[in-house]
Amino acid sequence: MLVIVLSLCKTTICDCTEINEKISNYYDIPSEEYNFLQISDNSAPIKPTTPVGSLVGTVGVLYNFSSFTTDPNGDDLYYMFNWGDGFNSKWFGPFSSGTNISVSHMWNERGTYEIHIIAKDVFGLLSECSAPLITDISGPYLTFKEIKGGFGLTTVIENIGDSNATD
């Protein structure tokens, strides 16, 4: 059970419906019944709080995001962030139920990103995904404005982004 959930979460952290469908396929039960399946007396962690952190940022800068939740059984918890850029964090933990955690992330491209977090208890039961924190990351965006050929090549690069480019 634990191994299965771990492997599913690598690709589908914030699509809990898909996770439940895959688990229910494994147990050969209807997906809508998975949430009510009592594998043991264990209960899943409560949905984590919406991540707290910067709503705006700049490419290449680390920002901290925090969240927490509790487990009805008081189990220790692991947390994983989905950064909205195709990357999930590793699983952090275990932490005592209710511990506020803070993790930093840096984006490599400008854009608007939705950050989610999910928790699981030490027995592998997953919480629901949190509501998203939406952050706007700005940054340099370079384009070749003018290229002159010949022996002396001249290139004019224009920064049409919304912050200064370095190097």
Report the C-alpha gap between 45 and 128 in whole angstroms: 8
Report the C-alpha gap between 148 and 42 in whole angstroms: 69
What is the smallest separation between the CB atom of 118 and Ca ion, expressed in angstroms? 14
> Residue from 22, 53, 121, 129 that binds Ca ion (CB under 5 A)?
121
**Please, which of residues 134-163 interact with Ca ion by CB under 5 A?**
none
Report the C-alpha gap between 119 and 47 in whole angstroms: 7
Taking CB under 5 A as the rule, which mask of x and - marks residues 64-83 in contact with Ca ion? -------x-x-x--------
What is the smallest separation between the CB atom of 107 and Ca ion, expressed in angstroms? 33
- Decide: is 126 part of the binding site for Ca ion (CB under 5 A): no
Residues lying near Ca ion in the complex (CB under 5 A) are found at 42-43, 71, 73, 75, 121
